[in-house]
């Protein structure tokens, strides 16, 4: 139903659904949430929804899929790694399966498999990224540097004021965006999609990522998320900012027993800072 753009057709479908007799069953297949009165249908127990979570491969399903594809030599750990990297996404597993054919460096490939890998990147470029309008593509690229994102954070790093709308739109279209809480405030991108977007950003717009990381660092610091403020400052190569935030967090890190984290961050900051 995501291919239907004529409002008359949509209105007709809504009328059919709302006035359907008890013996009528309709099946909708869509990459987006259909523009129907789903809330009312749920209350009336008249709808069965099969979404991304239900379609995701898990555990034995992943192993069986790869076994039937001819990959009988994979270990349990390797299957688990592929499932983790693809997050059970069927297309991602299929691309991994194809790429594994006739490979001698199976262990190396599985360890490195990500959204920047050629087959995955080409698929995401052709089937997903290029289909988006300019505003959506820009938003995806700019927010790809974030491990988790919320509307106000996205506004801060992109300079826009409609990130709530953008995130709602991406979620309604099932565009590799996952909600992290019941309030739908925090989100993250699918691992493979995020890898692809970051690779694309660094290739097409060099140096922008550093600026975005610095903006993210400032926002996280303003919200007292000092760990993420430090991480983004380091990623943005703003060592003076990273040193300042690390100095603020030093006592908390020390007394909470996170000495290894403290030492690792200190190693990344030149002595001059």
Tokens of 44: 């009336």
Q: What is the mean pLDDT of the chain?
A: 86
Closest CA to 96 of 112, 80, 108, 113: 113
Tokens of 193: 């999609």
* Beta strand residue intervals within 73-227, DSSP E: 177-179, 187-189
- What local confidence, expressed as pLDDT, does residue 1 receive? 45
- What local confidence, expressed as pLDDT, does residue 35 receive? 66
42-51, 112-121, 140-149, 226-235: which is most confident = 140-149
Backbone angles phi, psi at 249, to 5 degrees: -95, -5
The sign of the dihedral angle between the CA atoms of 105, 107, 108, 111 is positive
Tokens of 42: 């749920």
Tens digit of each residue's pLDDT (9 = 90 or more) over 67-102: 988 888 899 999 999 998 888 888 888 888 877 876
Neighbouring C-beta atoms of residue 163, cutoff 10 Å: 20
3-state secondary structure at position 69: coil
What does the DSSP 8-state code read for residue 149?
B
- What local confidence, expressed as pLDDT, does residue 112 receive? 82
Check: CB of residue 245 under 8 Å from CB of residue 218. no
Cross-strand pairs, 179:
187
Query: Could you tell me the CA-to-CA distances from 230 to 28, 145, 154, 191 in Å, in that order?
Result: 46, 14, 18, 22
Tens digit of each residue's pLDDT (9 = 90 or more) over 126-168: 878 988 899 999 999 999 999 999 999 999 999 999 999 999 9
DSSP run (H or E) holding 48: none
Greater confidence (248 vs 181) lies with 181
CA distance 189 to 176: 6
C-alpha torsion angle, residues 211, 214, 216, 222 (rounded to 10): -140
CA distance 223 to 211: 19
């Amino acid at each position: 139903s995501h291919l239907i753009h004529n409002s008359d057709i949509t209105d007709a479908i809504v009328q059919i659904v709302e006035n359907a007799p008890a013996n009528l069953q309709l099946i909708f297949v869509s990459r987006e949430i259909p523009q129907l009165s789903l809330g009312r249908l749920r209350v009336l127990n008249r709808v069965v929804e099969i979404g991304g979570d239900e379609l995701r491969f898990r555990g034995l399903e992943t192993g069986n899929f790869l076994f039937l594809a001819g990959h009988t030599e994979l270990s349990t750990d390797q299957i688990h790694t592929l499932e983790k990297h693809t997050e059970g996404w069927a297309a991602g597993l299929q691309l991994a399966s194809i790429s594994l054919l006739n490979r001698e460096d199976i262990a190396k490939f599985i360890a490195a498999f990500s959204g920047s890998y050629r087959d995955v990147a080409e698929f995401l470029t052709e089937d997903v990224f290029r289909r988006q309008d300019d505003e959506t593509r820009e938003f995806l690229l700019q927010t790809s540097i974030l491990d988790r994102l919320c509307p106000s954070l996205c506004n801060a790093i992109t300079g826009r004021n409609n990130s709530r709308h953008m995130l709602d739109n991406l979620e309604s279209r099932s565009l590799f965006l996952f909600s992290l809480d019941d309030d739908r405030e925090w989100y993250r991108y699918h691992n493979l999609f995020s890898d692809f977007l970051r690779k694309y950003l660094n290739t097409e717009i060099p140096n922008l990522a550093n600026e975005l990381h610095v903006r993210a660092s400032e926002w996280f610091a303003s919200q007292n998320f000092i760990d993420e403020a430090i991480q983004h400052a380091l990623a943005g190569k703003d060592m003076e900012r990273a040193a300042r935030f690390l100095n603020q967090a030093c006592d908390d890190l020390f007394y909470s027993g996170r000495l290894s984290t403290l030492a690792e961050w200190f190693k990344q900051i030149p002595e001059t800072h």
